[in-house]
Structure 1
Amino acid sequence: MTTPQAASVHPTTGDGDGLPRKLGVWSAAAAAVGLTIGSGIFRVPATVAAESGSVGAIALVWVLGGVITLCGALTIAELAAAFPRAGGIYVYLREAYGPLPAFLFGWSWFFIRSAASAGTALVFVAYLGSFVPLGGAGQRAAAVALIVLVGAANYRSVRLGAAIQDASTVAKVLAILLAAAAIFTLGQAGGGALAGPVGFAPAGLGGIGVALVAALFAYDGWIAATLIAGEVRDPGRALPRALAWGSVVIVATYLTINLAYLYALPLAELAASKAVAVDAVTRVAGAGGAALIAALVMLSTFGGLNAGLMTGPRVYYAMAEDGLFFRRVAAVHPRFGTPHVAVVLLVVLTALNASVRTFEQLAEAFVLLLYPFLALTVAAVFVLRRRRPELERPYRTVGYPLVPAIFLVGTVAMMVNSLLERPDATLLAAGIVAVGVPIYYAWRSASRRQPAGS
C-alpha cells in the first residue's frame, strides 16, 4: 500500500483524506504543546523525586526525558512531512510495516487516548473542587460534562478547536513560567532542595528507569501535531517546524518549573507531595497562592483535554478509511468539515473511562502502551530510507542516524527496565496489544466476506 508523496499534496484539501487543510504551523505546534502540558507536570515531579533519590538524579531524569522527546520529534518529523495524512503514527506504521502493526496501534489507541483524556478531565475537576464543593459523584459528573462540552466544540469546527487550543496553550505556558518566576522571587534561597548537596547518586538504576517512565508520561503529547497532519497547510514545511519548536517549548517549560519546585521544597517534601505545584507556591506565597495554582492547573488541564479530543479522533478516522474499522467512522460532516463520528466515539470512550476509573489507573499503562509504537515509528525512518529511497522527503532528520538511535536506545532501555521493575503493568500493556492480533484477522476475514459495495 502506498501513499501519495508530499509533493502531490494539495495546499488546501486533505489529499484523499477528505478533511480540509485549515490549520497552520502555529496551531499544529499549539496542539503538541497543549496536549503535553496537561496534568502530568503537576503530579509527576513527586514520583520522579521519590524514585530518583537525589537532586542531581532528578535533573538527569528530566534532561534525559527532554533529550528523548526532542530526538523523537526531530525523527518523526521526517515521516510527517513525507506522509502528511490524518492519523499520524498509524499512517507511518502502515507505510513501513503493513496494516497489522498499524491496526495494533489503532487498537491500543482506544485505550491510550481515552484513558489519558479521562485522567486529564479528572484532574481538572479535582482542582475545580477548590472553588466549588464537589463530592466523588459530583466530580465524575463534572468530568463527563466537561468532556462532552469540549468534544462538542471539536465536533463543530476544527478551527474552533484550534482557536481554543491556541489561546489556552499561550495562557498556560505563560502562567507556568510566571508561577516559576514567583517561586524564585518570593522563595528563600535556603528553603528548598537546591540549598543542600546536589548529588548525582540515584537511589538505584531501577529507580531512575521508573522515574523516566513517569517523566515520559509528562512529555508524551508531542505527537499531537502528526495526528492532524491531514488538516495542516503546507505540511512539508509546517509539520517539522511544529514538532521541533513545540518540543523545545515543552522541554524548556518543564525544566524551568522543575527547577522552581526544587528551589521551593526540600527533597523529602517534594517526593511526598500529592500536589507539588500547590505545595511549592503555598510555601513561598502562603495559602492565597493555592487558589492561583488551582486555577493554573484547571487552565492547563482544559487545554490538554481539548488537544486530546481534537487530535485523537484522527487515528480512528484513518483506520476507517483503510477499511480496518467501521466505514462510518471515516465520515466527514458535510457542513463542519470534521470527522464527527470519530469525535463522538472518542468522547464516549473518554466519558466512560472518567466515570469508572481513577487517575492512577488511567495513567499507569499509558507510557507502556504508547512508547513501543513510538519506537517502531522512529525505526520506520531507517526502514523507509532503505526500502523507498525515491520517496520525496521535504525534511530529513537532523543528525541522522544518531538522533533516531538515541531515541531508540533510551526507549528500549526504559521498556526493559519497566519489565524488570513493574512486570504486572508491562505485561498488561503487552496483553492489550496481543489481544488486537486475533481481532485484526477476524476483522479482515469478515471484511472479505462482505459483498462489494456494502
Structure 2
Amino acid sequence: MSNTTSSDQLPETSPTALPRRLTLLQGTALNMIDMVGIGPFVVLPLVIKTLGGSQFLWAWILGAVVSLIDAFVWAELGAAFPQAGGSYNFLKISYGEQRWGRLLSFLYVWQTLIQAPLVMASGAIGFAQYASYLMPLEEWQRKAVSGGVVLIIIALLYRKIDSIGKIGLIMWGAVLLTLGWIIFGGLSNSRIPLSETLQSMGSASGGLLAAGLGQASVKTIYCYLGYYNVCHLGGEIKQPTRNIPASMFISIAGIAGLYLLMNLSVISVVPWQIAQNSEFIVSTFVETLYGPKAAQLATILVLLVAFSSLFAVLLGYSRVPYAAAADGQFFRIFARLHPTKQFPYVSLLFLGGLGFVFSLLFRLGDVITAILAMRIVVQFVGQAIGLLLLHRRRAAATFPFRMPLYPLPVLLAISVWLFVFFSTGLTFMLSGLIVIGAGIGAFLASAVIRKQWPFEKT
C-alpha cells in the first residue's frame, strides 16, 4: 500500500497548508527564470577559457544532458510526492521517515540554510558586477547594489502566491526577450561562419577535450540548476502529477535550446579569443553589433533577467525550512504562514536576511563551484539512490510518472553527479564534506536532546 498523498487528499484547510494556485505555465515560467540568471552571462567566458575554441559548446551540451537525466529522478519523486519542500520530503520518504530518512532530510535542510543564501548572494554579487558596465562602481557601491537587490526581492515575495505567479510570467517574458534579442542579433549578423564553428567543435582530441570538460561542465551545470524548482513548490502546483514532470522537461528543453543558440550567436560575432577575456560578454557582443547605446539597453535586460532568477530562487528555497518545520523536524517558527497572505514569511525573511548578509561579505570568485560541490552528495546522489530504494519497496502503480528504461537513467544520474563532484577539485570536495559532517554533528546533538533516533529508548 502506498503512503503517497495525492493533491486531492492534502489538508487544504490546515493552518499550515499552502493553496494550489500555480498552473503549468506559471510553474514552467518560475523554473526557467530560476535557471537563467546572471549565470550564463558570467559563465560563458569562463567556459571558453577552460576549453578554448568552439569546444566549449560541448560543456553546454553536457550540462543539458545531465539535467535531462536527473530530471527523470525528480519527475518520478515530484509526481509521487507533490508537497512543499521538494528534496526534503523525497529523502525522508525514500530512506524511511523514522531513521535514515530523518538524517538525510535534516542534512538537506541544514545545507539549504547555507547554500540558499549563498546562491542568493552569488546572483546579487554578479548583478552588481554587471551593473558596473553602466557606471563605474567602487567596492562599497557594489556591495550596496547587491544588498539592495536582495532586499527588493524579499519585498516582492512578501505577498500571495497567485500574485507571485503573475509576476513570474512578466519576468519570464523579460528572459525570453533578452535571449531572443541576443540570438536573433548574432545569427542574422554573423561575422564568423557557423560551419567553421561547428567544424572546430570536433577538432580537439578526445583526451584533451575530456581533460577540461569536467571542470567546464561544473559551471554550465550551475546555469541549468533550477529545473526542479517546481518540486519545491509542489504543494502549490495545480494537477501536480501531470504538471510537475511536464514543467521540468519543457524548461530543460527550452533553456538548452536558448543557451546553445545564444552561445553560437555570441561567438559568431565576437571571436572566442576576445570573448574569453570579457567581463561583460553580452554588452561587448551588442556593442559590436549596434553600438554603445544598444549595449547599455542589453545590460539592463541582463540585469532584469538576473533579478528575475533570484526572485524564483528565494521563492523556491523559502518552502524548504517551512516544510521541515511543518513536519515537526525543524524549529516550529518556520512553519508559520502569514495570517492573511498564506505564505511562509518566517522562512522567507530568514533566508533572505542571510542572503543579504552574505552578499556584503563574499566575492563571486569560486562560489559557483562551492555551491555545486555542497549539494551533490546529499541532494542529487542521495535522492537518486533513494528512488532505487523506493522502487524496491513500492509497486510501480504508486508512481504516477514512470521514467523510460528504468533504472538506467537513475544509474547514469548517480555516475554523472559523482563525476561532476570529483571535477570540482579537492578543496571544494572537502568543503562539501565538511558541511555534511557539521550537519551530522548537529543532527546527533538534536537527537540526544530530543531523545530521538539513534538515541531513543527501545
The verdict on a shared fold, with TM-score over 0.5 as the criterion, is yes
Tell me, yes or no, if structure 1 residue 115 matches structure 2 residue 106. Answer: no
Aligned residue in 2 for 1:273: 278
The correspondence for 1:393, drawn from 375, 385, 399, is 399
Counterpart pick for 2:143 among 140, 144, 154: 140
Given candidates 80, 84, 87, the residue that maps to 2:85 is: 87
Match of 2:162 in 1: 159
Q: Amino acid of the residue matched to residue 160 of structure 1?
A: S
- TM-superposed CA distance for 1:247, in Å, is 1.4
Which one of the candidate residues 354, 370, 375 is aligned to 1:365?
370
More moved, 312-321 vs 144-153: 144-153
User: Shift in Å at residue 237 of structure 1?
Assistant: 1.2
Q: Does residue 234 of structure 1 match 2:239?
A: yes
Indicate how the Cα distance of structure 1 residues 87 and 11 shifts in structure 2: closer, same or farther if over 3 A, else same. closer
Residues 34 and 310, structure 2, Cα contact 8 Å, conserved in 1: yes
TM-superposed CA distance for 1:118, in Å, is 1.4
Worse-superposed segment, 98-107 or 406-415: 406-415
| Number of the residue aligned with 2:329 | 324
2:360 is aligned to: 355
1:412 aligns with 2:422: no
User: CA–CA distance in 1 between the matches of 2:164 and 2:127?
Assistant: 18
Which residue pairs with 2:427 in the alignment? Answer: 424
Q: Cα gap change, 1:336/1:177 in structure 2, threshold over 3 Å: closer, same or farther? A: same
Contact 2:7–2:82 (CA under 8 A) maintained in structure 1: no
User: 1:69 maps to what in 2?
Assistant: 67
Q: For the Cα contact (< 8 Å) 2:57–2:201, is it kept in 1?
A: no
- Contact conserved, 1:161 with 1:306, CA < 8 A, in 2? no
The separation in 2 between residues aligned to 1:399 and 1:171, in whole angstroms, is 37
Give the deviation of 1:86 after TM superposition.
0.5
Report the alpha carbon displacement of residue 132 of structure 1 after superposing the two structures with TM.
Answer: 5.5
Q: Is the 8 A contact 1:7 1:392 kept in 2?
A: no
Q: In structure 2, do the counterparts of structure 1 residues 357 and 233 end up closer, same or farther at CA, with 3 Å as the change threshold?
A: same
Q: Deviations over 1:227-279 (max 9, x none)?
A: 01011111111111111111111111111111112212222222222222222
What CA distance in whole angstroms lies between the structure 2 residues aligned with 1:261 and 1:127? 17
How many residues in Structure 1 have an aligned counterpart in Structure 2? 444
Contact between 2:154 and 2:352, CA under 8 Å: does it hold in 1?
A: yes
Find the residue that maps to 1:43 and give its secondary structure: helix
The alpha carbon displacement at 1:76 in A equals 0.9
Distance 1:328-1:276 versus aligned 2 partners, 3 A rule: same
Aligned to 1:103, which of 84, 102, 106? 106
Instruction: Write the letter of the residue equivalent to 1:62.
Output: W
Distance 1:336 1:92, change over 3 A: same
TM-score when normalising by structure 2 = 0.90
Q: Is the 8 A contact 1:176 1:296 kept in 2?
A: no
Name the CA distance, whole Å, in 1 between partners of 2:445 and 2:181.
53
Task: Report % sequence identity.
Answer: 25
Residues 1:200 and 1:388: Cα distance change in structure 2 (over 3 Å): farther
Distance 2:31 2:110 in 1: 22
Matches of 2:233 and 2:114, distance apart in 1: 19
Q: Does the 8 A contact of 2:45 with 2:275 survive in 1?
A: yes
CA 1:180 to 1:14, structure 2 compared with 1: closer, same or farther past 3 Å? Answer: farther
1:60 aligns with 2:58: yes
TM-score (norm 1): 0.91
For 1:101-147, what per-residue CA distance to the aligned partner results, in whole angstroms no more than 9, with x for missing partners? 11111111122211111111222233334445543222222322221
Alpha-carbon distance between aligned partners in 1 of 2:305 and 2:352, rounded to the nearest angstrom: 19
Consecutive unaligned residues of structure 2, counting only runs of 5 or more, are 96-100, 453-458
Maintained 8 Å contact 1:153/1:160: no
Task: Kindly report which structure 2 residues correspond to 1:184-203, keeping only aligned pairs within 5 A, or say none.
Answer: 184-189=187-192, 194=197, 197-201=200-204, 203=208
**Offset of 1:175 from its aligned partner?**
1.8
Match of 1:7?
6
Q: Distance in 2 between matches of 1:430 and 1:164?
A: 38
For residue 397 of structure 1, report the CA deviation from its aligned partner: 1.6
CA pair 85-196 structure 1, distance change in 2 beyond 3 A: closer
Question: For 1:22, what is the secondary structure of its paired residue?
Answer: coil
Deviations 1:192-227 (A, max 9, x none): 972984444264533111001111111111121110
Distance 2:373 2:412 in 1: 18
Q: Give the secondary structure class of the aligned counterpart of 1:225.
A: helix
Sort the Cα spacing of 1:6 and 1:399 in 2 relative to 1 into closer, same or farther, 3 A: farther
Residues of 1 paired with 2:164 and 2:393: CA distance? 38
The answer to whether the 8 A contact 2:219-2:368 is kept is no
Unaligned runs of 5+ in 1: 450-454
In 2: Cα distance, 1:11 partner to 1:252 partner = 36
Displacement, 1:329? 0.5
Is it true that 1:42 corresponds to 2:41 in the alignment?
yes
Deviant stretches of 4+, over 6 Å:
none
Q: Which residue of 2 aligns with 1:247?
A: 252
Distance 1:128 1:387, change over 3 A: same
1:225 paired residue number: 230
RMSD across aligned positions (CA):
2.4
